[in-house]
Amino acid sequence: MDKIEHIGIAVKDLETSNKLFASLFGKTHYKTEEVASEGVKTSFFKNGPNKIELLQATHPESPIAKFIDKKGEGIHHIAFAVSDIKAEISRLKSEGFVVLNEVPKKGADNKLVAFLHPKTTNGVLIELCQEIEKTKIK
Ligand code: ZN
């Protein structure tokens, strides 16, 4: 596992939070993206090497909606960059971690992603993400 790729924050209303974080950071988000398969709308901020992802649910069954129901707004996940997500998934499985999706899926920001169940990581939802090579994009 490599550096922290980004930190994900669950918010109720993306537009309101975009304004809040824009005044916090002194700059606006650089992109928004909807990931329909996850039921989320996201926006990204960059401060130097650090990236923050804001996530808003697009429907009540979205994992983000459920998270906010249970815990309220706040830090939702920490994402780590990996260079070979499949190898990392099998390594972590053999270490006893529960991987929520064993087949990496397409996440926001041109990444292949997989999540580890928080019950095996001290309550922290961990996302693995691997940059999708530009040549593979259609
Ligand atoms: Zn993320």
User: What pTM, to 2 d.p., does this model score?
Assistant: 0.91
pLDDT at residue 15 in the model: 97
How many angstroms is it from 53 CA to the middle of ligand 1? 6
Give CA–CA dist 33/43, Å, rounded.
6
pLDDT at residue 133 in the model: 82
How many angstroms is it from 69 CA to the middle of ligand 1? 19
Give CA–CA dist 97/80, Å, rounded.
15
How many angstroms is it from 29 CA to the middle of ligand 1? 15
Neighbours of ion ligand 1 (CB under 5 A): 8, 53, 79, 127
How buried is residue 72: exposed, middle or buried, by Cβ count under 10 Å (0-12/13-18/19+)?
exposed
How many angstroms is it from 107 CA to the middle of ligand 1? 8
How many angstroms is it from 94 CA to the middle of ligand 1? 24
pLDDT at residue 136 in the model: 55
20 contacts: CB under 8 Å, gap ≥ 6? none
94 contacts: CB under 8 Å, gap ≥ 6? none
How many angstroms is it from 125 CA to the middle of ligand 1? 10
Pairing of strands 4-10, 50-57: parallel
Pairing of strands 74-81, 50-57: unpaired
How many angstroms is it from 129 CA to the middle of ligand 1? 8
| Mean pLDDT, the chain cut into blocks of 10 residues (138 residues total) | 96 98 97 92 95 97 96 97 96 96 89 94 96 68
